[in-house]
Amino acid sequence: MENFLEELYLELPGTDQLPPPPRQLFEEFRQRRGDNYRPRTRHLRPDGFAKFTNRLFLETSPYLLQHAHNPVNWFPWGSEPFELARQLGRPVLVSIGYATCHWCHVMEEESFEDEEIARFLNRNFIAIKVDREERPDVDTVYMTAVHAMGVQGGWPLNVFVTPDRRPFYGGTYFPPTDHGRGPGFLSVLRQLREAYDRDPERVTQAGLQVTQVVQGMLAPAENDRSTHQISLAQTVQAYRDRFDPANGGMAGAPKFPSSLPVRLLLRQYLASGDRDAIAMADLTLRRMAAGGIYDQIGGGFHRYATDQRWLIPHFEKMLYDNAQLAVTYLEGYQSIGDHDHAVVVREILRYLQRELMSPQGGFFAATDADSLTDSGHREEGFFFTWKPQELIASLGKERGDVVAACLGVTEAGNFEGRGIPHREKSIAQLAGELTLTEEGLRTILDESRELLYQVRSRRPAPLRDEKILASWNGLAISAFARAGLVLDEPAAVEQARGTAGFLWENMVHGGRLAHSYQEGAAKGEGFLDDYAFLIAGLIDLFEASGEARWLDRALQLAKVTQEEFADPDRGGYFMTGSRHEELIAREKPAYDGVVPSGNSVMVMNLLRLHFLTEEPRYLEQAKRTLDAFASQISANPTAFSEMLAALDFLANDPKQIAVVAPRGDRQAAQGILAKLRGVFLPSRVVAIVSEGEELEQASELVPFLKGKSAQGGKAVAYVCENKSCRLPTSDAEEFGRLLKAGLNNGRLA
């Protein structure tokens, strides 16, 4: 082992010019990984160690560590590789992906583990690996560059740039060798290096041109239209025109849960009584929960469906999808009253706690689509699929046959010869066909699912990306806090409290938020999404718990966001703050994708903070942000679903609701809170506190709590709207009527 590090670097082609990293860093790496560490690579020495090791072994990102033993001489993102490229006169490959990306794995195995390709890369390029979840700013810039080149984006993202970081060519997955539709990766490398040497001026000009386009695309132009011209009904009509009436969601495939903003449809129904809107929302929620995109055994949603029936998923599971879908199903439950939607919420939250929660209380990022088969090969989806005989072996013949019939697991299978559990028929239909009572069938399924979960847990599990991201954990805090309030689940509020406490203790230092937490340490400056999503989670936690500290912390982070990310000239917020690295372009995120943009979330945060604190500056900042994107919203409203939700919040005269329970007796408010839980009322802020210290602390931040109290040992509810308050009441029925006041035009009660 004494010469281990030098031997590995001498084996790397083209690295004789580069000094190996200090030995003590490698020793630190070995200590972190443990003596039982076994590299993920096909290039192993007889002693079990990797034949190749590059600088990525010093990183903490699971994605970068996956490439630490490629024969490619990878560098992490930083100034060193670009300076080296300048000195050596080489172009740079910036390769971007994430740990649970299936096609990233494929390209690694086919190309980055290939010694011939690696040798050419090492001698002709400087190669940089980037985890898009660690550096969303880098990913956004180069994904935008690829779009500017007319290429459809995706991951892996492979962009070729000049030493001054300007992109001149890019694409996504490249097969290793030439094929019928074009050149393979090795041919692309050869052609690009030849072009770089033959006509460097042309490459430089291409990089300049693409950079100018990227800068224009990421910085919106001056606004010249008002948000008052935007119609929620017209936006919903655009979704109606593309709706899949058989399966829900948008017509065609692949199908992403985020492609149809169900929460916007629910608001449209509330505003207008549009029965089509709520029917579209309900069908989508029901069909997604019945499909293979939903893990029928362990709960939680996979990332998307590859078919139009929600049947065949891409088996990756993401924290951000599930946290957002928990809130969506929660609002669906409140709006529609279908208890099956509440069941989905509970199952999602249980999945998050069982499979993504860290020992410290934060949530890990994702799990992979791929897992090992019985024969030791890595395949997509094997962990989640079944054969009928496996069900029988786990449950017995009689029960196994029942479960197979209910979950559509057949001998022929529906994915690679195996079955993805899904539900084609309702419990009532299945009970009739199987001559069972509905209650009896539900019991069989519930018991069997737990048994199958335990059996499945003994299979080799998909890789888990154990980054803890502030932004995605903010979404998780919102999910648990909101569910705890609406479903009357104190344990869910406690989970939100624990996660928020972990983030505040470990990822907030000197009032500033870190982006991620890995291997026991915070890492990187927080981005706009980190601040915005955590602020939202802290507001939700205040509303669910009544504890003023969470609102106070949200206000602290909002202050930093305004100071570090706000555009003082045009309004809105940049993705990066003043302490971030300056890239070739600075994004002001606008469009809502699989997660809403930081600007959309900040608008809603500012509106909620305004109606809680009654501070005018928050309303002014929110309106400035809306104005900054008004022309874009008007031109393409379906790309701004969360910002439209914020506009809807503001347009409906938000209610300020206070519930004050007697000192030490929050239970006395249960009757009143039951009414609050039963009404879908998105345009409102809530403060639920007990008399005494809790009320006193909250009143310092929430002026409409001042002077409020319980009466005669009973909880009292106060409802204010448009600077006017109704008479306080301790009668739950009267409180319910106050909540519904003004909810006309078919709004749900």
In the predicted model, is pLDDT for residue 39 greater than 70?
no
Do 4-218 and 653-749 have matching folds? yes
Which tens digit of pLDDT belongs to each residue from 154-201?
Answer: 999 999 999 999 999 999 999 999 887 789 999 999 999 999 999 999
CATH 3.40.30.10 fits domain 4-218:
yes
In the predicted model, is pLDDT for residue 382 greater than 90?
yes
Strands of the sheet with 684-690, listed across from one edge? 684-690, 655-661, 716-721, 724-725
Q: Whole-number mean pLDDT of the chain?
A: 91
pLDDT at 11: 41
What would the mean pLDDT of 361-388 be, rounded to a whole number?
91
Which tens digit of pLDDT belongs to each residue from 94-117?
Answer: 999 999 999 999 999 999 999 999
What value does the CA radius of gyration of the chain take, rounded to a whole number of Å? Answer: 27
Q: Strand pairing partners for 724?
A: 721
Which tens digit of pLDDT belongs to each residue from 396-443?
Answer: 999 999 999 999 999 999 999 999 999 999 999 999 999 999 999 999
Residue % of the chain over a pLDDT of 90: 81
Concatenate the DSSP letters of all residues of 147-207 into one string: HHTT----SSEEEEE-TTS-EEEEES---SS-BTTB--HHHHHHHHHHHHHH-HHHHHHHH
Selected from 3.30.465.10, 3.50.50.60, 3.40.30.10, 3.40.309.10, the CATH number assigned to the domain covering 653-749 reads 3.40.30.10
Query: CB of 68 within 8 A of CB of 53?
Result: yes
Which tens digit of pLDDT belongs to each residue from 662-675?
Answer: 998 989 999 999 99
In the predicted model, is pLDDT for residue 733 greater than 60?
yes
Q: How confident is the model at residue 34 (pLDDT cuts 50, 70, 90)?
A: low
Which tens digit of pLDDT belongs to each residue from 279-334?
Answer: 999 999 999 999 999 999 999 999 999 999 999 999 999 999 999 999 999 999 99
Q: How confident is the model at residue 22 (pLDDT cuts 50, 70, 90)?
A: very low
pLDDT at 220: 67
Q: How confident is the model at residue 383 (pLDDT cuts 50, 70, 90)?
A: very high
pLDDT at 32: 63
Domain definitions of the chain by residue range: 4-218, 246-464, 653-749
In the predicted model, is pLDDT for residue 552 greater than 70?
yes
Alpha carbon distances (Å) from 705 to 74, 542, 652, 693, 701: 57, 14, 22, 13, 9
Q: How confident is the model at residue 234 (pLDDT cuts 50, 70, 90)?
A: confident
Pairing outcome for strands 521-525 and 684-690 = unpaired
Q: How confident is the model at residue 31 (pLDDT cuts 50, 70, 90)?
A: low
What would the mean pLDDT of 449-454 be, rounded to a whole number?
97
Question: Considering only 52-56, 302-306, 610-614, 689-693, which range has the smallest mean pLDDT?
Answer: 52-56
What would the mean pLDDT of 141-151 be, rounded to a whole number?
94
Q: Which residue has the higher pLDDT, 649 or 32?
A: 649
pTM: 0.93
What would the mean pLDDT of 536-554 be, rounded to a whole number?
98
Which tens digit of pLDDT belongs to each residue from 577-624?
Answer: 999 999 999 999 989 999 999 999 999 999 999 999 999 999 999 999
pLDDT at 122: 93
- What would the two tokens of residue 221 be? 């132009």
pLDDT at 377: 83
Give the 3-state DSSP-derived string for 589-653, with helices as H, strands as E and coil as C. CCCCCCCCCHHHHHHHHHHHHHHHHCCHHHHHHHHHHHHHCHHHHHHCHHHCHHHHHHHHHHHCC
pLDDT at 233: 86
Q: Which residue has the higher pLDDT, 22 or 129?
A: 129
Question: Considering only 11-25, 126-140, 190-204, which range has the smallest mean pLDDT?
Answer: 11-25
What would the mean pLDDT of 543-552 be, rounded to a whole number?
98
pLDDT at 30: 60
Which residues make Cβ contacts (< 8 Å) with residue 723, sequence separation at least 6? none
